[in-house]
Structures are given as structure tokens and as C-alpha cells.
């Protein structure tokens, strides 16, 4: 039994590596990053095997065949129609990143929210859904307008429109830019296939119901990821995206004084950690908007804007005791081991035996195991497909559907 799981795992790894290695990179800019990702990925095999046999190696074998995966994507889809497309995305991202390191985390979150709802179709970027003035769009549902980075996608799109008008979809731009942002933040490289089409619709109600929430318990989190075809192991690795960026105070505040309507703090937070989180995040919505807020909807908005800039990172602040080399290593998992998860949903990974075992495994090496799993889970996520079979379009403005007349 264990032997066959291990054999399945080894076969799957060989297949995956040969797929990865056979992809020829037309321009070679990312080759170095890719090579370093694959060579470091070979080191922790012992860890991986123990992870695989404890978590059920069959996840690896079946994942490429699961439903809801876009099979019509190609490597370098724009090689004829816009050969410079991927280079342009990469160099524009490098420019943005040099000014604004937080772009990587912003796009990663945008991309996740996009792919989770009806596939990676740039539906999350829409301001208006084909004349639907209902405001029933994902942007406004997805945890309360706290997504950021739209302007960076628009900037990349603008550069591309100047070179090859109307060719490169916003969905592909987001997928490529997210990957490039991860690499810039010293995360792992993974190949991104292209040829996505942009949706004409946005899906507010699905976003509200199906995006995992910061205060979800482990059962809910695993369920919502499994609906999208992710195994427990892939779920735990994807949450490792929290290694970079800040967790907004608006999500942390919910644990500080009135957790889930109890009128008390989240009982799973230690007193000393609660104090730290309160120091950064507990202003009862008033500290940074000093003036007495206007009544009505503006009030909520002001609070959101001001608190939107504050937050706590896993990287550095939480783990000064952990030697830190790069953004994408084991900070997140080390923090969870210490009970210092910033979101309830993060810390819940320790409340389930299987996910806790994965957290311990990811925290136990130099980050290589996590990085390889994360890269593979991101490849899988970037292929999530809309169920509605609509042909889609290539938007010119990423926030507006094309008027089809």
C-alpha cells in the first residue's frame, strides 16, 4: 500500500519533471529562475516522500486529469500574434516592482480571486458587467473591496495595446504578471500557459459564497478549495502565499474584540500575541481617520481606505527569530507552529491533524518543499476554467467588457 503510493508518487514526479524540462523557453529570460527552482526542488526528496506517503500520494497522480481544468491553453500562445507579449509583461512588472514591492502580493491575491470564481477569466477586473448597473460585480463582493493592484494590470495592458492592439487578453496578463511578481519576490518560477479569454460577466454572488473567508474554520477552507479540485496538500501550500504581503488590519480586527459575535477576542490567540495584534490593528475604526467621520456610506468607505493601508506581514515582523533569506520561504508555516497565525483561517491549519502535519513538513526544511508544491499548485490554479463554456473575448480596457454589437 505504502509502496504503491510511493511508486505512484515517484512516477508522477518523473512525469512532472520531464514535462517541465521539455518546455523550451523561447527567449530564455526566466530560464535561470526556472533552473534554480528545479535544482533546489531536487534536494528535499526525503521530505517529499514522507509527505507524500503520509498525505496520500495519489493526489499527485490524478491532479492533471481533474475536471474544470482548461486544456486548450498553450505554451507561448502569442508567439505568432504578439511575440514580445511575455517579455513585455515581465519587464513592465520588473519596473513596477522596483517602485512598489507590494505589487507581487496584490496581484497574487487578485489572481486567486479571479481564478476561484468561474476560472481565470479576468472577471474580477470588471467594473461593470455589460450594462448591469446593479454593482453586482466581483470587485464589490470579494472581501469588501479590499483587492488592490488593478492599476498595475491596466498599466501592463496599456503597454501591450501599444505594441499589439486587441491581442493579449487581460486574463493572460494577470496570469503572467502574477507569476512574474512571484519570481520578483524571490518565489519559485513555474510555466504559465496562455490563450485565456476574458469574460463578459462578473459573478458577485458566487464570489460572496465561494471565496474562502479569513474567519473560515478548517472544514470550510478545505471544502471551498476541494470544490475547485485542490487537495489538502495543495490547499496548505496555496495558503503559503501569505508569506508575502501584509494581512490587512480589517481582517485581523475581527479577531480582537468581538470574534464571531461572541463579544470576546478569538480564544485561540495567546494573550501576548493578542496584545501585539491589537497594538498594530485595534483602533476600533477611528485611529487613522482622525476627524469625525461623515455619516452614511462614506463613513464605511473612509474607514476601509484608511485601514486598507495597515496590516501585518508574516515576513520579517512575525519571525525575527527565524533566519530570513527570501520572501517565499517558511515564515508562514513557522508562524503557525508558534500559534502566531494572523488570520483565524491561517491558524486553523493547525486544528486538523492532516493539515497540521503538512504545516510541520513545510516548516521543516529550507522552504524547498513548499516552493515546489506552491509552484505546482499555482500552475494548476492558473488553468482553472469557467464552467459556462462562453467563448469570451479579448478586452481592450481590462475593466470593461467589449461592446458586442
Ligand X SMILES: *[C@@H]1O[C@H](CO)[C@@H](O)[C@H](O)[C@H]1NC(C)=O
51 or 277: CB nearest ligand X: 277
Minimum CB separation of residue 213 from ligand X in Å reads 6
The residues of the shown chain that bind ligand X, judged by CB under 6 A, are 100, 102, 132, 134, 136, 140, 143-144, 148, 208, 217, 219-220, 257, 282-284, 309
Closer residue to ligand X in complex, CB, 99/320: 99
Distance CA 8, CA 3 (A): 9
Cβ proximity to ligand X, 73 vs 142, nearer residue: 142
Nearer to ligand X, 130 or 270 (CB): 130
Written as nine digits, the cell of 347 is: 491558524
The answer to whether the annotation marks 180 as part of a ligand binding site is: no
Query: Toward ligand X, which CB reaches closer, 25 or 146?
Result: 146
- 80 assigned ligand-binding residue: no
Please indicate if the annotation marks 119 as binding a ligand.
yes
Q: How far is the CB of 341 from ligand X (least distance, A)?
A: 16
Shortest distance (Å) from residue 160 CB to ligand X:
23
> What span, in angstroms and rounded, lies between the C-alpha atoms of 43 and 36?
11
- 353 CB contacts (<8 Å, ≥6 apart)? none
Catalytic residue among 113, 204, 223, 331: 113
Which C-beta is closer to ligand X: that of 199 or that of 368? 199
What b-and-e string marks burial along 263-288, b requiring 16 or more CB atoms within 10 Å of the CB?
Answer: eebbeebeeebbeebbeebbbebeee
DSSP state letter for 320: T
CB 75, min distance to ligand X, A? 32
Residue 256: half-sphere exposure toward Cβ, Cα within 13 Å:
19
* DSSP one-letter string for 373-402: HHHHHHHHHTTB--SS----B--SSTTS--
Backbone angles phi, psi at 248, to 5 degrees: -60, 140
Q: How far is CA 51 from the centre of its chain?
A: 22
113 as an active site residue: the answer is yes
Q: How far apart are CA 39 and CA 376, in angstroms?
A: 15
Find where cell 459564497 sits.
209
- Tally helices (H) and strands (E) across the chain: 19, 2
Residues whose CB is less than 8 angstroms from the CB of residue 229 and which lie 6 or more positions away in sequence, other chains included = 63, 66, 67, 68, 69, 380, 384
The distance of closest approach from Cβ of residue 59 to ligand X in the complex, given in angstroms and rounded to an integer, is 22
Residue 208: CB minimum distance to ligand X, A: 6
And the C-alpha cell for 405?
Answer: 454589437
- With b meaning 16 or more CB within 10 Å and e meaning fewer, what string describes 198-234? bbbbbbbeebbeebbbbebebeebbebbeebbbbbbb
SS3 category, 38: helix
Residue 121, marked binder: yes
In the bound complex, what is the minimum distance in angstroms from residue 393's beta carbon to ligand X?
A: 19
Q: Is 212 annotated as a binding residue?
A: yes
331 known member of a binding site = no
Closest to ligand X by CB, 45 vs 400, is: 400
Q: Consult the annotation and say whether 329 binds a ligand.
A: yes
For the chain, the first-to-last Cα distance in angstroms comes to: 59
Task: Show which residues are catalytic.
Answer: 113
Task: Please report, in range form, the residues annotated as the binding site.
Answer: 114, 119, 121, 123, 138, 212, 242, 329
Task: Please report, in range form, the residues annotated as the binding site for Ca(2+).
Answer: 114, 119, 121, 123, 138, 329
Task: Please report, in range form, the residues annotated as the binding site for heme b.
Answer: 242
Amino acid at each position: 500500500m505504502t509502496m504503491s503510493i510511493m511508486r505512484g508518487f515517484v512516477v508522477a514526479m518523473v512525469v512532472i519533471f520531464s514535462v517541465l524540462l521539455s518546455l523550451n523557453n523561447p527567449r530564455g529570460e526566466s530560464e535561470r529562475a526556472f533552473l534554480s527552482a528545479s535544482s533546489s526542488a531536487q534536494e528535499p526528496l526525503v521530505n517529499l516522500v514522507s509527505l507524500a506517503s503520509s498525505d496520500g500520494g495519489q493526489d499527485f497522480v490524478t491532479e492533471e486529469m481533474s475536471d474544470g481544468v482548461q486544456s486548450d491553453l498553450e505554451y507561448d500562445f502569442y508567439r505568432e500574434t504578439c511575440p514580445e507579449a511575455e517579455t513585455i509583461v515581465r519587464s513592465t512588472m520588473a519596473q513596477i516592482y522596483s517602485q512598489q514591492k507590494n505589487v507581487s502580493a496584490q496581484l497574487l491575491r487578485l489572481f486567486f480571486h479571479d481564478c476561484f470564481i468561474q476560472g481565470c477569466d479576468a472577471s474580477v477586473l470588471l467594473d461593470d458587467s455589460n450594462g448591469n448597473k446593479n454593482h453586482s460585480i466581483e470587485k464589490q463582493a470579494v472581501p469588501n473591496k479590499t483587492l488592490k493592484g488593478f492599476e498595475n494590470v491596466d498599466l501592463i495592458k496599456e503597454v501591450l495595446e501599444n505594441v499589439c492592439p486587441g491581442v493579449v487578453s487581460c486574463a493572460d496578463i494577470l496570469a503572467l504578471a502574477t507569476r512574474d511578481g512571484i519570481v520578483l519576490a524571490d518565489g519559485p518560477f513555474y510555466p504559465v500557459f496562455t490563450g485565456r479569454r476574458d469574460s463578459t460577466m462578473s459573478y458577485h454572488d458566487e464570489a460572496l459564497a465561494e471565496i474562502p473567508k479569513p474567519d473560515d474554520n478548517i472544514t470550510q477552507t478545505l471544502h471551498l478549495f476541494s470544490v475547485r479540485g485542490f487537495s489538502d496538500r495543495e490547499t496548505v501550500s496555496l495558503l503559503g502565499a501569505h508569506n508575502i504581503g501584509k494581512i490587512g488590519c480589517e481582517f485581523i480586527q475581527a479577531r480582537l474584540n468581538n470574534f464571531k459575535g461572541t463579544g470576546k477576542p478569538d480564544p485561540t490567540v495567546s494573550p501576548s500575541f493578542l496584545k501585539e495584534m491589537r497594538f498594530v490593528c485595534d483602533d476600533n475604526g477611528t485611529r487613522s481617520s482622525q476627524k469625525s467621520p461623515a455619516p452614511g456610506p462614506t463613513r464605511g468607505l473612509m474607514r476601509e481606505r484608511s485601514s486598507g493601508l495597515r496590516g501585518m506581514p508574516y515576513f520579517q515582523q512575525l519571525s525575527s527569530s527565524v533566519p530570513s533569506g527570501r520572501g517565499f520561504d517558511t515564515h508562514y508555516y513557522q508562524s503557525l507552529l508558534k500559534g502566531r497565525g494572523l488570520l483565524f483561517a491561517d491558524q486553523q491549519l493547525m486544528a486538523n491533524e492532516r493539515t497540521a502535519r503538512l504545516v510541520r513538513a513545510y516548516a521543516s526544511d529550507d522552504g524547498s518543499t513548499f516552493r515546489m508544491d506552491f509552484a505546482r499548485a499555482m500552475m494548476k490554479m492558473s488553468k482553472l476554467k469557467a464552467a459556462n463554456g462562453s467563448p469570451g473575448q479579448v478586452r481592450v480596457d481590462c475593466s470593461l467588457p467589449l461592446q458586442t454589437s
